[in-house]
């Protein structure tokens, strides 16, 4: 009963005059109590509206390891047109590419996504003796931009489709 009178007086006073409340005073305590009640009411409403999200069926995920390893060496003469060293392959996991050094020289090769980019020199320049691992199924072309013939070795890791998953 006494709280109702205090609340009424505080509400009337706030309507008439807007003034800063004295910390710990009557109006300040009233505002804090009012804020606490509103927060509790809002929390009760949110708990009543709480709906459980639908559950999802678990998805089986496995990492496939390569079943076949395929090696190939490509020879590129000086001024030869670009050649495809990795075709677009759905089941390739990864490939390791290495330019073989010849007679102590350090030739380079341009690796690109198509023959036009390789011929233009737009691509990745691979130096001899540095293996590069490519984790992709996309095709890859090579172009000899050196002044001597080169050999590019490719080791592809291939897996087969598994229908039992």
**pLDDT score for 1:** 57
DSSP 134: E
Burial of 126 (0-12, 13-18, 19+ CB in 10 A): buried
**pLDDT score for 143:** 92
Q: Per-residue pLDDT for 164 more than 60? A: no
Q: Tell if the pTM clears 0.75, that is, is over it.
A: no
- For 19-72, write each residue's pLDDT tens digit: 677 787 877 888 888 899 999 999 888 887 767 777 778 888 777 677 888 899
**pLDDT score for 64:** 64
Count Cα neighbours of 62 within 13 Å in the Cβ-side half-sphere: 9
**pLDDT score for 74:** 92
Q: Per-residue pLDDT for 103 more than 80? A: no
Which long-range CB contacts under 8 A does 121-129 form with residues at least 24 apart?
A: 121/145, 126/97, 126/99, 127/99, 128/99, 128/100, 128/101, 128/102, 129/98, 129/99, 129/100, 129/101
Q: What is the CATH number of the domain that holds 97?
A: 2.60.120.10
Domain membership of residue 28 (yes or no) is: yes
- For 10-20, write each residue's pLDDT tens digit: 777 767 766 67
Domain membership of residue 61 (yes or no) is: no
31 and 94 together in one domain? no
41 and 89 together in one domain? no
Q: Per-residue pLDDT for 129 more than 80? A: yes
84 and 142 together in one domain? yes
């Amino acid at each position: 009963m006494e709280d109702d009178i205090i609340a009424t007086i505080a509400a009337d006073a706030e309507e008439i005059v807007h003034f800063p409340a004295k910390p710990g005073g009557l109006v300040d305590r009233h505002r804090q109590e009012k804020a606490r009640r509103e927060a509790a009411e809002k929390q009760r409403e949110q708990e009543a509206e709480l709906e459980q999200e639908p559950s999802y069926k678990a998805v089986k995920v496995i990492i496939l390891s390569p079943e076949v390893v395929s090696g190939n060496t490509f020879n590129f003469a000086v001024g030869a047109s670009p050649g495809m060293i990795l075709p677009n392959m759905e089941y390739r996991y990864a490939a390791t590419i290495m330019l073989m050094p010849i007679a102590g020289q350090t030739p380079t090769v341009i690796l690109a996504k198509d023959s036009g980019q390789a011929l233009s020199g737009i691509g990745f320049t691979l130096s001899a003796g540095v293996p590069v691992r490519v984790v992709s199924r996309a095709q890859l072309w090579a172009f000899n931009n050196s002044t001597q013939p080169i050999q590019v070795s490719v080791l592809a890791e291939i897996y087969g489709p598994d229908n039992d998953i």
